[in-house]
């Protein structure tokens, strides 16, 4: 990981102190996740230059510190907002070219034709803004930001205002931008589904502070993060590879670091990557592989890594399955099993809740 962004921001509002110190990679999608009011948008505003405070270094270049402040219009940053913020007095083409015209000719690397093709905007160019659907508006906003040839793309909950169908329509474009145009993206969201589909690096914010940042599988299954991620999301993210499809039983078999998992039938070619989300509540533990028959299809050999603090009558156990995996068990079970760090244990996975194609793998 080449460090691309070194950011240190301190902003004080009445009732809210924002104080972060972050180093982020030069590639891929960094998802900033956290509850409302955690400072996600403030982070983007600082990066974009809308808040004057702290220090920011991008690719070795200082953008702001005590003596220097690069104004937003001089930063090579593209920004996409939750509400598309297209200019209603301009047509699609003029909206797309607004930033392009204001980018010095020698810095322009992306052009209207190319961006319109990648984002499938060719047929919309002469339309007025009011005639666009929500999804189309966001694609135009994305294209408009890209046409300034940004070094970094900031996206502030760009899909939050769209229905599920439109979201599905846009997510591949975001992946495509990151891969085909190699522009690093910082993506703010509170939607777990977006996190799973997009994230490479994850930053978790809470109350204006960074709780944790790093590669997603490490960050996500940290047992101390339950509060920030929320009970319903607490669990692990595993990147797997599709092995084969069993059409008769409607099952797709996956390879996870030499072990096997089964999920409901997927429409993804064997060999492709699939990212799965396993909720900690869906993981039971057994000191021996279940003898005889069991209805649980997915059993992983793991080691106990860490035993978390009690949450009511439950406790989170961090397991090492090659990648971190989380299990939530009762305190009673913990005492019955007499778990110790380092002990080998079988994880019985009752359900794999969310499954997403991950083109990165």
Partner 1 sequence: MDLHSLDYGPIWLTLQLATVTMMILLIIGTPIAWWLANTCSKIRVGIEAVVALPLVLPPTVLGFYLLIMLGPNGWIGGPVQTLTGSPLSFTFTGLVFASTLYSLPFVVQPLQSNFESIGRAPIETASSLGASRWDAFFSVILPLSRRGYLTATVLGFAHTLGEFGVVLMVGGNIPGKTKVISIEIYDRVEVMEYAQAHLLSAVLLLFSFLVLVMVYSINKKLPVNVS
Structure tokens at 345: 């244990």
Q: Is residue 333 near partner 1 by the rule CB under 8 A?
A: no
Structure tokens at 320: 């090492």
Residues 14, 88, 258, 342: which binds partner 1 (CB under 8 A)? 88
Q: Is residue 112 near partner 1 by the rule CB under 8 A?
A: no
Residues 103, 266, 284, 343: which binds partner 1 (CB under 8 A)? 103
Q: How far is the CB of 19 from partner 1 (least distance, A)?
A: 22
Residues 19, 57, 83, 231: which binds partner 1 (CB under 8 A)? 83
Q: What gap in Å lies between CA 225 and CA 227, rounded to an integer?
A: 5
Closest to partner 1 by CB, 96 vs 355, is 96
Residues 12, 17, 52, 71: which binds partner 1 (CB under 8 A)? 71
Q: Is residue 50 near partner 1 by the rule CB under 8 A?
A: yes
Q: Is residue 99 near partner 1 by the rule CB under 8 A?
A: yes
Q: Is residue 220 near partner 1 by the rule CB under 8 A?
A: no
Q: Is residue 166 near partner 1 by the rule CB under 8 A?
A: no
Q: How far is the CB of 24 from partner 1 (least distance, A)?
A: 19
DSSP H or E run through 209: strand 209-215
Q: How far is the CB of 48 from partner 1 (least distance, A)?
A: 6
- The rounded Cα 190 to chain-centroid distance in angstroms is 9
Closest to partner 1 by CB, 104 vs 250, is 104
Only one of the segments 95-103, 215-223, 245-253, 289-297 lies at the binding site for partner 1 (rule: CB under 8 A); that segment is 95-103
Residues 30, 84, 213, 298: which binds partner 1 (CB under 8 A)? 84
Across-strand partners of 9?
20
3-state SS, one letter per residue, for 103-156: CCHHHCCCCHHHHHHHCCCHHHCCCCHHHCCHHHHHHHHHHHHHCCCCCEEEEE
DSSP H or E run through 220: helix 216-220
Q: Which residues contact 33 (CB under 8 A, 6 or more apart)?
A: 40, 189, 190, 195, 202, 203, 204, 205, 229
Please state whether beta strands 209-215 and 201-206 pair in parallel, antiparallel, or not at all (unpaired).
antiparallel
Q: Is residue 290 near partner 1 by the rule CB under 8 A?
A: no
Residue 342 backbone class (left: φ over 0; alpha: ψ -120 to 50; beta: rest): left
Residue 181 backbone class (left: φ over 0; alpha: ψ -120 to 50; beta: rest): alpha
DSSP H or E run through 273: strand 273-279
Residues 6, 57, 98, 134: which binds partner 1 (CB under 8 A)? 98
Q: Is residue 115 near partner 1 by the rule CB under 8 A?
A: no
Q: What is the signed CA dihedral for 288, 290, 296, 298, rounded to 10 degrees?
A: 40
Site mask for partner 1 (CB under 8 A), range 121-160, x = bound: --------xx-------------xx--x------------
Number of residues counted as binding partner 1 (CB under 8 A): 27
Q: Is residue 77 near partner 1 by the rule CB under 8 A?
A: yes
Q: Return the SS3 of 42.
A: helix
Only one of the segments 20-28, 74-82, 203-211, 303-311 lies at the binding site for partner 1 (rule: CB under 8 A); that segment is 74-82
Only one of the segments 13-21, 86-94, 167-175, 265-273 lies at the binding site for partner 1 (rule: CB under 8 A); that segment is 86-94
Q: Is residue 85 near partner 1 by the rule CB under 8 A?
A: yes
Q: How far is the CB of 246 from partner 1 (least distance, A)?
A: 49
Contact 118, 82 (CB under 8 A): no
Q: What gap in Å lies between CA 40 and CA 35, rounded to an integer?
A: 9
Q: How far is the CB of 87 from partner 1 (least distance, A)?
A: 6
Q: Is residue 64 near partner 1 by the rule CB under 8 A?
A: no
Binding site for partner 1 (CB under 8 A): 48, 50, 71-75, 77-79, 81, 83-89, 98-99, 102-103, 129-130, 144-145, 148
């Amino acid at each position: 990981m080449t460090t691309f962004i070194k950011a240190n921001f301190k902003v004080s509002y009445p009732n809210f102190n924002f104080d972060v110190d972050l180093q982020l990679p030069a590639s891929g999608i960094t998802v900033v996740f956290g509850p409302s009011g955690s400072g996600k948008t403030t982070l983007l505003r600082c990066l974009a230059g809308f808040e004057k405070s702290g220090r920011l270094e991008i690719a070795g270049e200082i953008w702001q510190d005590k003596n220097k402040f690069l104004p937003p219009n001089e930063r090579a940053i593209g920004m996409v907002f939750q509400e598309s913020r297209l200019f209603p007095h301009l047509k699609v083409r003029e909206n797309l070219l607004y930033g392009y015209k204001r980018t010095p000719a020698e810095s322009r690397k992306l052009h209207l034709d190319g961006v319109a093709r990648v984002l499938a905007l060719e047929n919309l160019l002469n339309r007025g803004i009011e005639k666009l659907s929500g999804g189309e508006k966001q694609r135009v906003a994305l294209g408009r930001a890209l046409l300034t040839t940004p070094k970094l793309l900031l996206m502030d909950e760009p899909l939050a205002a769209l229905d599920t169908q439109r979201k599905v329509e846009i997510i591949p474009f975001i992946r495509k931008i990151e891969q085909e145009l190699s522009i690093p993206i910082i993506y703010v969201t509170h939607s777990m589904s977006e996190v799973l589909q997009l994230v490479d690096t994850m930053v978790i914010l809470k109350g204006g502070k960074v709780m944790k940042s790093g590669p997603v599988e490490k960050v996500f299954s940290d047992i101390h993060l339950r509060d920030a991620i929320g009970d319903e999301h607490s669990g692990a993210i595993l990147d797997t590879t599709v092995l084969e499809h069993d059409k008769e039983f409607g099952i797709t078999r996956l390879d996870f670091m030499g072990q096997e998992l089964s999920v409901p039938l997927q429409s993804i070619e064997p060999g492709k990557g699939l990212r799965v989300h396993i909720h900690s509540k869906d993981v039971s533990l057994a000191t021996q592989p279940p003898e005889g028959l069991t209805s649980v299809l997915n059993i992983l050999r793991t080691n106990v890594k860490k035993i978390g603090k009690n949450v009511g009558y439950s406790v989170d156990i961090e397991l090492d399955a090659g990648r971190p995996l989380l299990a939530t068990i009762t305190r009673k079970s913990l005492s019955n099993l007499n778990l110790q760090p380092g002990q080998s244990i079988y994880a019985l996975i009752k359900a794999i809740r969310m499954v997403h194609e991950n083109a990165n793998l």
